[in-house]
């Protein structure tokens, strides 16, 4: 998923660029923008920065698409271009044909934001493909280097024609080292009366997985006509992107037998070890079956474990797995998902990833959650196909991977499981632990285009959260992030859940101290909200606030937060009358003209002075609702409430916003802080922002301070206030000691 993107806006007017930035931020992405208003600025910025996307707003510009494309070409960049224009429709088509990634109407900022994110995703996928291609080439190189060093004859054949042979193979068949392989076929190496045996072996291999070994003894002949018996071990591989058959030779009478080589195809997929997951070709192993040609044909073409089972050999049962903590279980589950994602490149259908948990009426203690998880795991093993991979994750959750999945098949399986789960009694020994009311499940379908198993699991858990938020007893599918923006069903579920939480006080407030770096000890707290479900799940703001904005319940949610925060503040003022709370107004609240009057009446009833409350607007809210925000800010200032701009510093001209709103407190965007300790450019940006804010008469708040190193750097800057987990995580308690904070 895209988190923070760098965008170059080619325009002379920052206002439409600011609108696009605001809407990108509402989609959950930080933006690091730059602006080029002429050819000289454009050339300078392209030479010194790498951008994820270029947005050309051609209104009033001397620079056009052709000049921009040429400038990118000169700078050695292949950055996608999103064009905002007032051109006629036929001219927009020509712009796309000339190389623009997308062409959007100048006033359609929402579509422009969506297409910019699509352009970034397109670029990142291209980068990922190039990176993987490099890894594949390196894996192929190392694999062939290992074959070169083997003392056994080894050759590779694609569609029956040799593509590689090591020196030992050439010596064995009396071939010159410089001789070309393009006319050498596997059939040429076998005596004529065994061609049929060889053809049979190759036909059988066509239906076998790559890691299955086929072993046979045949009579071979050299270029000079000499014949000899040899054991052939055939395996599959993908080398240079082409599937091939790898042939290993060993001799039953003299030389040691050929070593095993499991899965050279997976070697090309190794990213961490370079060599992938295959055995050392120089390692020795017991000889393959020997004897008359064709004698072991049927048995040897099966996987060795299956052959042992067919022969009646008793194998010891697998060891009982030892208990693992949730982190290790999830790591091993993710490794399984990664491997199966790679396998989907050879499949017509994607895999299905599921996260499930039993729903109970009351919140359960941790011991009971383990028992619920064990019970669910057994239920899944009985109700899902044997090919399913089932794993315990954290708490009572289970993860499932289904290969070659179809949505209709998964839905049918889950319908059956959910009927089985209703009313099931879970016991530990003779004691009843809980009664399962229902089963909730989140599902994702994916193939090898996914960037990572972790991202896939995150989406699956989000779908599970939506199922739980809707009351449980159901399943939810979740598509790629870009598709999810229009998920009306998901928004409807969250809307219902938020409305119920507001009515039934199913929300919880947390408070994080905002501490002065200048020795001031006035208590200040930032107010955060969490949503709790009846099943005990706690949802972060990022899970439900975007849906609240889209579904029209952001305003009542804001009011609930402010009402309960002010109630706590009134009690704190009795201990220290200097205490200040920071609360937020979302875009939805700005659409209500009576919000200032409502806040005035509520503060009067609560007997809380307006000066002890600071209302924060996010910069993205200001960009998209500027007129309403300015009017609301003016009313709040007249009332005596403090003003703060949050996520500050990502717009093209943030100080124009600051001047229009007149906020005295500025909270910088966390994207600056996350890289502050190790990024000189970020430090310079924070210094510059802080200096300008002070010049305008404002105070600077730096959030997300997570370590001592970052805090030490901030002491040397013109920063007034800090907050973050290093100071104190958000807590339900208002007991921070501001007098001895830092």
What is the block-wise mean pLDDT of the chain (742 residues), using blocks of 10 residues? 80 91 87 91 86 92 88 82 89 86 93 94 82 78 86 88 89 82 82 89 78 87 88 86 87 45 33 30 36 34 36 36 56 82 66 89 72 88 91 86 85 90 78 79 77 79 82 80 55 86 91 93 95 77 86 92 96 95 92 84 94 94 86 94 92 86 93 82 89 93 92 90 94 91 72
Alpha-carbon span 352 to 19, nearest angstrom: 38
Question: Do the Cβ atoms of 353 and 340 come closer than 8 Å?
Answer: no
| The pLDDT value given to residue 644 | 97
- Cβ atoms within 10 A of the Cβ of 264, count? 28
Beta strand 665-668 pairing with 699-702: parallel
Q: Which CA distances in Å does 162 have to 52, 156, 169, 186, 301? A: 43, 6, 12, 7, 22
| Cβ within 8 Å of residue 85, ≥6 positions away | 57, 58, 59, 91, 92, 95, 103, 104, 105, 106
Burial class (CB in 10 A: 0-12, 13-18, 19+), 532: middle
Crossing angle for the helix pair 541-551 and 554-575, to the nearest 10 degrees = 130
pTM for the model stands at: 0.57
Crossing angle for the helix pair 488-504 and 453-469, to the nearest 10 degrees = 50
User: What are the structure tokens assigned to 47, written together?
Assistant: 């030479």
| The pLDDT value given to residue 345 | 58
Alpha-carbon span 584 to 619, nearest angstrom: 12
Cα dihedral sign for 651, 654, 658, 661? negative
| The pLDDT value given to residue 435 | 75
Cα dihedral sign for 213, 217, 218, 224? positive
Q: Which CA distances in Å does 469 have to 261, 553, 555? A: 49, 15, 20
What ranges in 173-246 are assigned the alpha helix state H?
195-206
| The pLDDT value given to residue 736 | 94
Q: State the residue for tokens 């949802």.
A: 539
| The pLDDT value given to residue 627 | 87
| The pLDDT value given to residue 236 | 87
- Cβ atoms within 10 A of the Cβ of 511, count? 24
What domains appear along the chain, each with residue ranges and CATH number? 4-131 (3.40.50.2300), 149-283+291-304 (3.30.450.20), 326-485 (3.30.70.270), 555-727 (3.20.20.450)
| The pLDDT value given to residue 635 | 93
- Cβ atoms within 10 A of the Cβ of 642, count? 19
| The pLDDT value given to residue 21 | 92
| The pLDDT value given to residue 488 | 66
| Cβ within 8 Å of residue 170, ≥6 positions away | 176, 177, 179
| The pLDDT value given to residue 140 | 83
Q: State the residue for tokens 């042992």.
A: 308
């Amino acid at each position: 998923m895209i988190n923070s993107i760098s965008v170059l806006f080619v325009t002379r007017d920052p206002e439409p660029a600011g609108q696009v930035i605001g809407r990108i931020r509402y989609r959950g992405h930080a933006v690091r923008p730059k602006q080029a208003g002429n050819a000289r600025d454009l050339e300078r910025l392209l030479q010194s920065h790498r951008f994820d996307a270029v947005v050309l707003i051609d209104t009033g510009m001397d620079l056009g698409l052709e000049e921009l494309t040429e400038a990118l070409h000169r700078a050695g960049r292949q950055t996608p271009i999103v064009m905002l224009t007032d051109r006629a429709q036929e001219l927009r088509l020509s712009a796309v044909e000339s190389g623009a990634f997308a062409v959007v109407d100048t006033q359609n900022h929402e579509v422009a934001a969506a297409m910019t994110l699509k352009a970034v995703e397109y670029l990142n996928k291209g980068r990922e493909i190039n990176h993987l291609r490099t890894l594949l080439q390196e894996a192929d190189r190392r694999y062939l280097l290992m074959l070169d060093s083997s003392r056994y004859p080894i050759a590779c054949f694609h569609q029956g024609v040799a593509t590689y042979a090591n020196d030992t193979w050439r010596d064995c068949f009396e071939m010159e080292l410089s001789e070309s392989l393009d006319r050498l076929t596997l059939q040429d190496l076998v005596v004529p009366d065994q061609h049929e045996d060889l053809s049979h072996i190759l036909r059988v291999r066509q239906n076998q997985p790559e890691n299955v070994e086929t072993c046979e003894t045949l009579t071979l002949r050299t270029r000079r006509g000499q014949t000899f018996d040899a054991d052939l071990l055939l395996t599959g591989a993908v080398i240079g992107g082409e599937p091939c058959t790898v042939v290993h030779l060993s001799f039953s009478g003299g030389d040691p037998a050929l070593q095993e080589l499991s899965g050279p195809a997976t070697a090309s997929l190794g990213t961490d070890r370079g060599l992938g997951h295959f055995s050392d070709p120089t390692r020795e192993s017991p000889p393959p079956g020997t004897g008359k040609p064709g004698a072991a044909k049927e048995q040897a073409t099966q996987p060795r474990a299956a052959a042992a089972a067919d022969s009646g050999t008793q194998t010891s049962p697998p060891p009982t797995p030892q208990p693992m903590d949730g982190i290790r279980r999830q790591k091993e589950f993710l490794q399984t998902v990664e491997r199966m994602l790679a396998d989907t490149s050879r499949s017509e259908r994607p895999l299905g990833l599921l996260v499930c948990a039993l729903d109970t009426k009351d919140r359960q203690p941790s011991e009971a959650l383990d028992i619920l998880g064990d019970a669910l795991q057994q239920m899944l093993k009985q109700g899902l196909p044997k090919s399913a991979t089932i794993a315990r994750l954290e708490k009572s959750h289970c993860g499932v991977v289904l290969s070659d999945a179809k949505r209709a098949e998964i839905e049918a399986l889950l319908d059956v499981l959910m009927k089985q789960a209703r009313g099931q009694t879970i016991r530990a020994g003779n004691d009843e632990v809980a009664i399962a009311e229902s089963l909730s499940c989140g599902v994702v379908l994916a193939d090898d285009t996914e960037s990572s198993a972790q991202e896939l699991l995150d989406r699956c858990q989000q779908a599970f959260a939506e199922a739980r938020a809707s009351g449980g007893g159901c399943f939810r599918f979740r598509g790629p992030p870009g598709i999810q923006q229009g998920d009306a069903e998901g928004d409807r579920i969250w809307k219902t859940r938020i409305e119920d939480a507001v009515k039934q006080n199913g929300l919880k407030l947390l408070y994080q101290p905002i501490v002065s770096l200048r020795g001031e000890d006035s208590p200040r707290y930032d107010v955060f909200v969490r949503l709790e479900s009846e099943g005990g799940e706690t949802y972060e703001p990022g899970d439900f606030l975007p849906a609240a904005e889209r579904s029209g319940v952001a305003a009542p949610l804001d009011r609930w937060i402010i009402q309960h925060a002010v109630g706590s503040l009134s009690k704190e003022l009795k201990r220290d009358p200097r205490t200040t709370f920071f609360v937020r107004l979302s875009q939805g609240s700005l659409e209500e003209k009576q919000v200032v009057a409502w806040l005035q009446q509520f503060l009067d009833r609560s007997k809380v002075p307006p000066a002890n409350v600071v209302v924060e607007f996010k910069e993205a809210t200001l960009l998209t609702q500027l007129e309403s925000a300015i009017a609301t800010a003016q009313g709040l200032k007249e009332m005596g409430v403090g003003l703060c701009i949050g996520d500050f510093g990502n717009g093209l001209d943030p100080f124009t916003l600051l001047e229009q709103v007149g906020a005295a407190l500025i909270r910088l965007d966390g994207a600056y802080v996350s890289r502050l300790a190790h990024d000189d450019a970020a430090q310079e940006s924070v210094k510059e922002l802080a200096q300008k804010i002070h010049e305008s008469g404002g105070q600077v708040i730096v959030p997300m301070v997570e370590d001592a190193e970052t805090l030490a750097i901030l002491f040397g800057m013109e920063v007034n206030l800090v907050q973050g987990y290093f100071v104190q995580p958000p807590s339900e308690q208002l007991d921070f000691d501001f007098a001895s904070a830092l």
